[in-house]
Chains A and B, each alone.
Chain A
Amino acid sequence: MSANTALAEKYRNNFLKEIEEQVEMGDWVKMCMQCGVCSGSCPTNFQSAWEHPPQELFMMIRAGKREEVLTSSSMWNCTSCYNCIVRCPRKLPITHIMHGIAEYAHRIGLAPKMQATRFFSGLFWKNCTHTGRVNELKLSMGLYFKDGFASGIKEGMKMKDVAIGLVLAKRLNPFELFGGHKCKDQKGIQAMLKKAYEIERSRKAAKMAG
């Protein structure tokens, strides 16, 4: 049984409970009073980027629309501007809930595979935890080449002028490709993260069993 099927079975007919137990800050969702200030405050909403703004997602969660919420690209459009957080009259940590739902959808394999920000988000985390510090060149290259070599060259060419400008200003170092900045105690960082993932997984599993 896949992780998704197991979870769907366990929380059958209670998607809200699933979100509360499995999503970071998910227990806040029920506090939403549907005022819509978050939706009106979201910068991406002005460009009709959201399939579902936060307020709508919260109601969909309460209505048990599991598939629609978790496969949505909406959460991935969050720019982390925190406008929704500071304006919410009920003080819901909306930005974190959006990240939390996205992370959960990604964890159980329901997040849209081709969503560019989902891809970039995973890439960023891998990039920065690999050596302890971000390698900006590898990060950009990894993004451009996500759909293969040919399209990578094309994407890279689109960004050529931006990159040249940065190289000339000494703010992008082509040699980062062959190493770059890193932490000394990478072993310690890896061990520490491994432990953190273990603990987090066991806490989530305990909630599911409980």
Chain B
Amino acid sequence: MAKHEYAFYPGCSSQKGASASNYLTSVESMCKTLDVKLTEIPDWNCCGASIGYAEAGELPRHVMNARNFALSEKHMPGQEIVATCAACWLGARETRERLTHSDTLMADTREALKEAGLTINEMPNIRHMVEVLIEDLGFDEMKKHVVRPLEGVKIAGYVGCQTNRPFGVDGESFENPQYLDKMVEMVGAEPIPEYEQKVTCCGGALAFSEPEKAQAQIKDIVESAYDHGAEMIVTPCPLCQANVEIYQGQINKTYGTKFNIPVMYYSQLMVVAYGGSAKDAALNGQVIKARRLEEIAAKPVKR
């Protein structure tokens, strides 16, 4: 039996051929090393994300998340739900909070769920993967598996919004959370504690609908990483990762900059540090290739 077991809510962006498929590949490799067993919630659905608000309304939005809770309870009773995506985690946690605080909303939700042949008896705990790593495993346990420290690599820890606000990770401040820097340190790389854009918004969904506004923010996030001598940026959020990485070319055209900095997931850094191959870490999923990590991943492992 695995040391830690959870019901897994991977989310739309992590599916095969989707924008964060590289995140999922690296999380799977990471969990194998850490003996964490994730069982996908059968037939899970989209959380609705924060951007669906124009038509989602209140109840339909919560019902979407509640369906996942019900499926999780049905197939994996008693297990906590773990999400890797910031938006999935936030959406599900928000629904959990609202349903817990309002009997009316809970009753209405149960009535709607009945239409899909489902019900909720117990409200599940909703965790983000980084919470599992920090709280259930701890930094010492995470560090034990490092066999190929990312020595000398300077990495800007970009936490972003939705893994940080409004819920965030317990014990961390909203203005200056430390856990991502600690994870960078844990894999043997060099964190940049003075990176002041770590909780700046990447523009979220406005990167699609009003790109000039989002890209102005992304420019600040990337520029500051360069100013602090970062070789790459690391983040726990799929939308932060995509937004900060894929628009650098367009930003260069607009602002005359020469940005070309890789944006990684914490799980990718961990997989390389744990001795995994470039394939295990899904380094081929980067639009801006992380050459330095590829080189490290090709080196033999110190055991």
Contact = CB atoms under 8 A, between A and B. Distances in A.
Interface residues of A, number: 69
B115 interface: yes
A121 B203 contact: no
Interface centre among A79, A103, A173, A191 (most CB of B within 10 A): A79
B218 to A, nearest CB: 11
B197 to A, nearest CB: 11
Nearest to A187: B116
Interface in B242-298: 242, 246-247, 249-250, 284-287
The DSSP consensus for interface residues of chain A is helix
A143 interface: yes
A205 interface: no
Nearest to A99: B53
Interface stretch (B55-63, B74-82, B179-187): B55-63
A170 to B, nearest CB: 6
Given A83-B161, A161-B249, A124 B49 contact: yes
Contacts, number: 221
B246 A165 contact: yes
A99 B13 contact: no
B55 A121 contact: yes
Interface in A46-88: 47, 49, 77, 79-83, 85-87
Contacts of B178: none
B52 interface: yes
Interface stretch (A3-11, A13-21, A196-204): A196-204
Given A81-B201, A121-B205, 17 more contacts: A82-B165, A83-B161, A102-B54, A120-B209, A121-B209, A124-B205, A125-B54, A133-B45, A162-B250, A172-B18, A172-B19, A191-B115, A191-B116, A194-B115, A195-B111, A196-B60, A196-B109
Interface of B: 12-13, 15-22, 43-46, 48-60, 63-64, 67, 108-109, 111-118, 161-162, 165-166, 168, 174, 200-201, 203-206, 208-210, 213-214, 216-217, 242, 246-247, 249-250, 284-287
